[in-house]
C-alpha cells in the first residue's frame, strides 16, 4: 500500500524533501554576505580600517596622525598630506 521511505511519507503528507535544503541555502547566503562585507565595507573603515586598533593596544595610522596633529607636532598642511597618503586607495591592475 504505502511506501515506508521518508520521502514517500513526506510526499503523502504534503511535505516535500526540499524543505531540508532551505537551511543550506540560508547558510550559503549568510556566508556570501559576510564575505562581501569583509572584503568591501569592513576593510575600508571600522574594525579593519585605518582607524582600527591593532594588536597589543597599538593604534591605527590615522589615529596616531590625529594625535600628532592635536599635540602640535605637525601643521595642518603636513597633516592633510599624510592623511591623503594613508587613505588613498591603491589602483588595481586591469
Q: Is the pTM of this model over 0.75?
A: no
The domain segmentation of the chain, as residue ranges, is 1-39, 51-94
Nearest Cα neighbor of 68 from 82, 56, 52 is 82
What is the model's pLDDT at position 1?
47
| Angstrom distances, CA of residue 75 to CA of 15, 60, 63, 65, 66 | 71, 20, 16, 11, 11
Q: Check whether 34 has a pLDDT greater than 80.
A: yes
pLDDT digits (tens, 9 = 90+) for 71-84: 999 999 999 999 99
Sign of dihedral through CA atoms 74, 76, 79, 81?
negative
Q: Check whether 56 has a pLDDT greater than 50.
A: no
Q: Check whether 55 has a pLDDT greater than 90.
A: no
What is the model's pLDDT at position 14?
63
| E strand or H helix that includes residue 6 | helix 6-12
Amino acid at each position: 500500500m504505502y511506501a515506508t521511505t521518508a520521502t514517500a511519507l513526506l510526499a503523502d503528507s504534503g511535505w516535500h524533501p526540499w524543505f531540508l535544503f532551505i537551511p543550506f541555502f540560508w547558510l550559503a547566503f549568510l556566508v556570501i554576505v559576510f564575505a562581501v562585507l569583509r572584503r568591501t565595507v569592513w576593510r575600508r573603515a571600522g574594525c579593519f580600517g585605518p582607524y582600527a586598533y591593532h594588536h597589543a593596544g597599538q593604534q591605527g595610522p590615522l589615529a596616531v596622525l590625529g594625535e600628532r596633529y592635536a599635540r602640535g607636532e605637525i601643521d595642518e598642511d603636513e597633516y592633510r598630506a599624510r592623511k591623503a597618503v594613508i587613505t588613498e586607495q591603491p589602483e588595481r591592475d586591469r
